[in-house]
A and B are shown apart, each in its own frame.
Chain A
């Protein structure tokens, strides 16, 4: 069964450093998403991406964040200058032919900023 994969599973970085979180969505999907979950809190939407552009972004997704689909398979989330409060689990998701389709989530990347 196709699945969304994410790398790395755990990333430790120092405050102020740039990080890139990588995702490989399901191959024929058209819609891509990033969510995050701070430990013990709700899953929060960050950004949706369709047709090579951002469809919607949340207040969390400020100019320190960016997304890219550099090739036909990868979808990345970059945080330019990490803060302590960026420590969270980051989930990538993808959905199929329409925005109505269910989203399939990856296993997540745990980002720890020290």
Chain B
């Protein structure tokens, strides 16, 4: 079972920042936080990952709380193409990863 909790759905206005929360209170020290998204029925797409420091790339920013029990994915200027299901996944550092997908958050960007 997924070890994360996310709201089932969120809405955001186009051009605004979308902030997607995730709780992972049972995360262990050797687990990273990964974010993927799935647009319609396409294959999941990697967004970003982090261990304990905040991370930023060209797609998004990831803010992880100091106790690592929760995180927030930030899409700084959401566009209609960002409408998707967003998955927060915790994954151990070692070995081949087995991504355990939960239900995710269905993010709808409104014009």
What residues on A are CB-neighbors of B21 within 8 Å?
A: none
Secondary structure at the A interface, as helix, strand, loop or mixed, is: strand
A104 touches which of B42, B46, B95, B97 (Cβ 8 Å)? B46
Does A105 make an interface contact (CB < 8 A)?
yes
B95 contacts A103, C-beta separation under 8 Å: no
Does A84 make an interface contact (CB < 8 A)?
no
B97 touches which of A48, A91, A108 (Cβ 8 Å)? A48
Q: Which chain A residue shows the least CB distance to B51?
A: A100
The digit string for A95-113, where 1 denotes a CB below 8 A from any CB of B, is 1000110111111100000
Does A89 make an interface contact (CB < 8 A)?
yes
Of the listed residues B49, B96, B102, the one surrounded by the most CB atoms of chain A closer than 10 A to its CB is B96
B97 contacts A43, C-beta separation under 8 Å: no
Task: Give B29 Cβ to nearest chain A Cβ, in Å.
Answer: 15
A107 contacts B43, C-beta separation under 8 Å: yes
B99 contacts A100, C-beta separation under 8 Å: no
A33 vs B91: C-alpha distance when bound (angstroms): 15
A94 vs B58: C-alpha distance when bound (angstroms): 21
- State the interface size on chain A (CB cutoff 8 A): 28
**Known contacts A102-B46, A106-B43, A107-B42; A56 and B32 CB within 8 A of each other:** no
Q: Which chain B residue shows the least CB distance to A49?
A: B96
Does A31 make an interface contact (CB < 8 A)?
yes
B43 touches which of A44, A55, A91 (Cβ 8 Å)? A91
Does A45 make an interface contact (CB < 8 A)?
yes
What residues on B are CB-neighbors of A106 within 8 Å?
A: 43
A95 vs B7: C-alpha distance when bound (angstroms): 28
Where the two chains meet, the residues of B that have a C-beta atom closer than 8 Å to any C-beta of A are 32, 34, 38, 41-46, 49, 87, 93-103
Given contacts A35-B101, A43-B99, A102-B49, 12 further A-B contacts (CB under 8 A): A31-B97, A33-B96, A33-B99, A45-B99, A48-B98, A55-B96, A56-B98, A58-B98, A93-B43, A99-B96, A105-B44, A108-B41
